[in-house]
Amino acid sequence: MSYASLTGKTAIVTGGSRGIGRQICAKLSEYGVNIVINYAGNDKEAELTKDLCLMKNPHVALVKADVTKIKYCERIFEICEKNFGPPDILINNAGITRDNLIMRMTPEDFDAVLGVNLRGAFNCVKLAFRPMSKKRSGRIINIASVVGIAGNAGQANYAASKAGLIGLTKSAAKEFAKRGITVNAIAPGYIETDMTSGLSDELKAEMLKTIPLGRVGRSEDVAAAVAFLCSDEAAYITGQVLCVDGGMYM
């Protein structure tokens, strides 16, 4: 698939140093998008993502910033503006897990997950509105999860954050539409990443049984969906949740 409309556009990708975020950066670079890679702490992994993008597009910038603090999010947008101009695309991908049963989950772990997964996205959505509004165009894509739709034992904080992200997506879509900005969410299912690699073999086997397509998803599957929603081909799609889950949730 070729998305000529993406060439020369500029995207901010939060949580872009590895996993799904890395593949999103690589995929958009492949289509000629200038990439601002945000990451929280792993310099080595961020540099690897940057190198991967540079193989396809020379226009890449790294920004180490904690998205839970709006002052640091402002720095992401400032560096974007300085290097490439205002963003055309925002991908809210930054996310963490602190899994536990509700009875054992600490308030700190609940707040930490909500802070990165939901507050971080809110901060960036808020900051993206003004520059996109001036252009009368923009694409915002929030990486949610099927867990935010169906729930999951041991992940009350994660599920709540992703369900909240879906609510944020739909509300922002209604507020931003008159400015030509689309806002959508992608809800991945069981995707093979660092975040899922720690699951037991037994749990992985049980999860695989729930996937009609019979295979685990890849980060590339999510990145392909992101590229579509960023393109002009998706110009009439907003406020939607696209499940990339092999049919796990229907």
Global pTM reads: 0.95
Contact 191/218 with Cβ under 8 angstroms?
Answer: yes
Task: Point out the residues that are catalytic.
Answer: 158
Helices 156-176 and 120-135 cross at an angle (nearest 10°) of 20
Helix, strand, coil share (%) of the chain residues, nearest 5: 50, 15, 35
What ranges do the domains of the chain cover? Answer: 4-241
Spell out the per-residue pLDDT of the chain, length 250, in tens: 668 899 999 999 999 999 999 999 999 999 999 999 999 999 999 999 999 999 999 999 999 999 999 999 999 999 999 999 999 999 999 999 999 999 999 999 999 999 999 999 999 999 999 999 999 999 999 999 999 999 999 999 999 999 999 999 999 999 999 999 999 999 999 998 776 666 677 877 888 889 999 999 999 999 999 999 999 999 999 999 999 999 998 8
CATH class held by domain 4-241: alpha beta
Separation of alpha carbons 163 and 174, rounded Å: 17
Burial (CB count <10 Å: 0-12, 13-18, 19+), residue 134:
exposed
